[in-house]
Amino acid sequence: MRPVLVLNGPNLGRLGSREPDVYGADTLEDLAALCRATGRELGLSVEVRQTDDEAELIGWIHEAADGKIPVVLNPAAFTHYSYALRDAIAQRTAPLVEVHISNPNAREEFRHTSVVAAVATGTIAGFGMRSYVLALQAIAELPE
């Protein structure tokens, strides 16, 4: 099975309790279970990780680049200002799909800019947890 990393940035460990009107009631563990189940259906071996630490997230992106591992990435707040994360993503050697649970363009103006979108394979946003399912489906359909 093709390995895929599903990486989540800051505050996503608070899913289920963080702004449920925006992010829903599902927890990070619910999301991880959904991603693993979707991966099995698609022939992908999915590993889900979350960190509030920018350096750790960048290290995981380097790991994926070194291993030619596709990534589904929700950079969370790092989306809007982390040039270090953007530069790490630019080194990718496999598809990387940026995902967001909510639609950043329908929210506060500071969320309208993604510094990582230009170096991602594509972006899926606004479909709740289904954004991850759609991203995994895209990864499964893209050539290795």
Which residue numbers belong to the known binding site? 74, 80, 87, 101-102, 111
> Pick from 1, 81, 79, 11: which is nearest to 42 by CA?
1
Check: CB of residue 51 under 8 Å from CB of residue 57. Answer: yes
Q: How much is the CA Rg of the chain, to the nearest whole Å?
A: 14
CA 142 remoteness from chain centre? 16
Separation between Cα atoms, residue 15 and residue 29, nearest integer Å:
9
State in Å, rounded, how far the first CA of the chain is from the last one: 12
Active site residue 112: no
Element (H, E) at 89: helix 83-89
Catalytic residue (choose from 81, 83, 100, 132): 100
Q: Residues marked as binding for substrate?
A: 74, 80, 87, 101-102, 111
Which residues are catalytic, by number?
23, 100
